[in-house]
Chains A and B, each alone.
Chain A
């Protein structure tokens, strides 16, 4: 049985009051992060009894998984229901696979927090290095989007940026209104008007 971690979610079946025989498919986990209508185990599992919930028993919502699959095959192609459920399981397996590899590296380097580099390194090590370049692009967009939302990150000497900060370097970057008259940066939500997917990164052919 895996040790309990600090947050409120529990994967210990005895704490949930569920016995072995009761746990056929379709059970719901009590969790701090409540997904609303969707159960965490939106999944038909005929495997019968399990003694406790393993990490692989938490799945991503089948609707989302099925949608991605559908977009990946030709339009005329069909996907069997058991294939969707199967990929759902594979996905949880994949996440756990990457995570434990990244976690191991973290521990080796005496760090407590898994960061982006750990994940990318794990991908490379485990045979998914074809994902790394597209992921780096996605991450770049992600960081840009995050920066835009929080307003200007204050530039301090300790960040080691090294560039000389002049009047010019600010005027081009500052969207109007972000710095108020008394010089305090405001947190402003910036929404762009374009909702297109990131061009050039979305469709990746895996043969």
Chain B
């Protein structure tokens, strides 16, 4: 259950994500002093929409019937292919196999000889 209990009592005010935690993340941005209640609520709701959006998009584009499971690579792909998600490319690098990485290191050291 989400941390803030007061928010769940009155519908219209309730959120699936805890506003107190969202506030903490917002305040950790540099130069942010005060956040009004509307802004906090909107950010929390927008974050819920974002999770839905990202999950839905990645699932649809990724799961071509194989495993029917949403995985990391589907998310990385979504970040690359969909413009609103481009900001995620830094934290969602496409994973490569260790052996491919080692191979590319070898090739690089051969070049510099």
Contact = CB atoms under 8 A, between A and B. Distances in A.
B11 A55 contact: no
A135 B51 contact: no
A15 B100 CA distance: 41
B24 interface: yes
A56 B10 contact: no
Contact of A89 (B22, B37, B38, B91): B91
Contact of A69 (B10, B38, B70, B84): B70
Bin the interface of chain B by size. 35 or more
Given A82-B72, A89-B91, A99 B51 contact: no
B38 A73 contact: no
Contacts of A72: 51-53, 55-56, 59
B42 A127 contact: no
Interface in B24-68: 24-39, 41-43, 45-60, 63, 67-68
Interface in A128-158: 128, 131, 134-135, 138-139, 141-146, 148-149
Contacts of B46: 98, 119, 123, 128, 131, 135
Contact of A99 (B3, B29, B55, B60): B29
Given A40-B21, A68-B48, 13 more contacts: A69-B51, A71-B52, A76-B68, A83-B71, A83-B75, A87-B51, A87-B55, A91-B51, A94-B50, A96-B26, A119-B43, A127-B84, A143-B38
30 contacts: A3-B30, A35-B21, A61-B3, A68-B51, A78-B69, A83-B71, A87-B54, A90-B92, A93-B87, A93-B88, A94-B50, A94-B87, A96-B29, A99-B26, A100-B30, A114-B26, A114-B34, A118-B39, A119-B46, A139-B42, A139-B45, A142-B38, A142-B41, A145-B12, A146-B13, A148-B10, A192-B10, A194-B11, A196-B11, A206-B56
Interface of B: 2-3, 9-13, 16-18, 20-39, 41-43, 45-60, 63, 67-72, 74-75, 83-84, 87-88, 91-92
